[in-house]
Amino acid sequence: MKTVITYGVFDLFHEGHIRLLERAKALGDRLIVGITTDQFSYQRGKLTVVDPLEVRLENVRGCGFVDEVIVEDRYGQKVEDIAKYDVDIFAIGDDWYGKFDYLKKYCDVVYIPRTPNISSTELRGVKYSTLRLGIIGCGRIVERFIKEAGYVREVMMTAMYHPSPDTSETVRRFREKYTVITLARTMDKLVDMVDAVYIAAPHGTHYKYAKAALLAGKHVLCEKPLALKKEHAEELYRIAEEKGVVLMEAIKTAYCPGFLDLISLVRSGEIGEVYDIESCFTRLTARGCREWDDHEFGGSLTEFGSYTLLPIVKLLGTEDLKWSFESMLDENGVDGYTKVRVTKGDRMASAKNGMAVKSKGELLISGTKGFITVEAPWWKTTFFEVGYEDPNLKKRFSYEFAGDGLRYELADFLYRARGYAGRDYKLLPEESVKMAEIMEDFLAWRREKQNRG
């Protein structure tokens, strides 16, 4: 019996897929198909997968040509599968011509002609209209966001809003560079022009802009922190649910492949029960910028705390947490360095954030069976190491972190805006609410400290 194997995402299952599988089956007696998971697709830069994995598995199983369906979720698996299933022929579409010649030492490699004029990419464009996105604000991160959006199909930057469009030099430069993005002079006009908004305005304005967009029935992707009061965050999620729209907090780390796998590995029990988490994010920040000049909402914790608190609420949960603060305040009352100490019973964590103090910037998770270390910049999570009592058992995991990482959150936002479920676990509403509650307590604590002199 001759065994053939092929792989693919098989998104938006179509005639081209069926013909490829039919031709692959004709090469032998038994056909095995590997379906690529969402997560592995992300790692390889394929961000716009529409159909959930279970739908893609069922579509391939039901086509009539496949004898066995397996899941592909990591690099190097093809070589393992060829040996495991005693494969004679590796078959793949000829749009990959030459890319898999390295497998010829293990089996025959056949490139199958692709069905012309049909592809998942083309069908995706037909099946779904483009998501028109409006931008609120035009600060430093917006240019990075626009560049990253170029890697996520079916998203079009349509309009931007700024409260002072005629007097802001930043707006003038933005409009000169991005001439195809229309200036909306009011929030009402912005929401009339778009399907969704991306909020990249100063921290203190996030709540009001998000609320206005949600009440208008628009999906919202909001830069961190989503809100600086617990009740505001709860209200925003409540409005989103009532309106049937998506609300996502744009903490890019929460959506990147490496961090997601790290959290999954910890939850699997690989390092036992977690009793301590230490996260740190410091970036020496020049004076004269928003982070220092915003006396009410600026500072190191509001700037970096969404990152450093993320692994804590992910791994300790959001219930029964207690916290306290230590800060080094600048002469204008803004915190240049803040440490948040968090406890949950006998479990503990610390989140260090700095604009005026430089630290190593790593993430360390300690458990009863081992520990995980992620070196700076851990919030990009390109790799992490697992250590045990026996130093010879150390394991290292490596991941792709494409570009600035914003494409991951935008891809998930698009996926959810189209009505698909299953990705909201990456950052749950209660996790965003808990971080807003901690920041609210901190700002009250800081004001009290400022008043005491």
- Alpha carbon of residue 403 to chain centroid: 12
120-174 pLDDT per residue, tens: 555 555 456 789 999 999 988 999 999 999 888 789 999 999 999 888 898 999 9
- Could you identify the residue written with the tokens 């479990």? 347
Residue 51, pLDDT score: 83
270-295 pLDDT per residue, tens: 999 999 999 999 999 999 898 999 99
Domain 3-122 falls in which CATH fold? Rossmann fold (3.40.50)
pLDDT bin (cut points 50, 70, 90) of residue 114 is confident
**Structural domain boundaries in the chain:** 3-122, 129-251, 254-401
What interhelical angle do 406-417 and 140-149 show, nearest 10?
Answer: 60
Average pLDDT over residues 29-34: 97
| pTM recorded for the entire structure | 0.82
Domain 129-251 falls in which CATH fold? Rossmann fold (3.40.50)
Q: List the strands of the sheet with 322-329, edge to edge.
A: 322-329, 335-344, 347-354, 274-282, 363-367, 370-374, 383-388, 395-398
Residue 121, pLDDT score: 55
Same fold, 3-122 and 254-401: no
C-alpha distances (whole Å) from 384 to each of 192, 260, 375 are 45, 12, 7
Domain 254-401 falls in which CATH fold? Dihydrodipicolinate Reductase; domain 2 (3.30.360)
d(CA 327, CA 224): 21
343-394 pLDDT per residue, tens: 999 999 999 999 999 999 999 999 999 999 999 999 999 999 999 999 999 9
**Residue 89 reports pLDDT greater than 60:** yes
Nearest to 423 by CA among 181, 248, 281, 286: 248
233's tokens: 């965050």
